Amino acid sequence: MPFTTEIHDVSDFPIVRFLPEKVHEGYGDAWCTEMDALLVRNAPFVLIYLAAEREEGHGDRKKRGAWLKANKEALAGKCLALIIVEPDAEKRAQLEAMFPNLVRAFGTPQAACATQAEAEALGHHVLLGGAVAVGR
């Protein structure tokens, strides 16, 4: 079931890429709508977050957080992993330290990779039944 997206690239579904260049003040509504559409597809997928250069605004972060909490079970049932591309090793280690709390809060396994190619390889691994390693 095709749908139009503004924030996510779904051209390689079940690999879904969040597009950081699309982050702008007020993007939270589009993000929530697109996440709803991904869940309605009723098919497993992997979400890859490419490294962002801009910080998101408080309102958008709050809106996404509320959506994630409200849809925790549905998302955990369909999103097999959230993989963040972070080239900086120190920032990647900081992210990895936060993952246990984020997994508890939102229910989706999370990992960080240095490159988009590594993230996509991990995404395909997970889609084929593999697991996201703890402390990755």
Specify the CATH number for the domain of residue 39. Answer: 3.40.525
In this prediction, the residues of the chain whose per-residue pLDDT falls under 70 are 1-4, 52-54, 134-136
Asked whether residue 43 is domain-assigned, the answer is yes
Percent of the chain with pLDDT over 90: 64
Asked whether residue 123 is domain-assigned, the answer is yes
Q: Domain limits at 30?
A: 8-127
Q: pLDDT tens for residues 45-56?
A: 999 998 766 677
Asked whether residue 54 is domain-assigned, the answer is yes
Give the integer Cα–Cα distance in Å for 123 and 15.
7
Q: pLDDT tens for residues 32-48?
A: 999 999 999 989 999 99
pTM, 2 dp: 0.88
Domain count, the chain: 1
One-letter amino acid for residue 15 of the chain: I
Give the integer Cα–Cα distance in Å for 25 and 47.
22
Asked whether residue 120 is domain-assigned, the answer is yes
Asked whether residue 135 is domain-assigned, the answer is no
Asked whether residue 122 is domain-assigned, the answer is yes
Asked whether residue 2 is domain-assigned, the answer is no
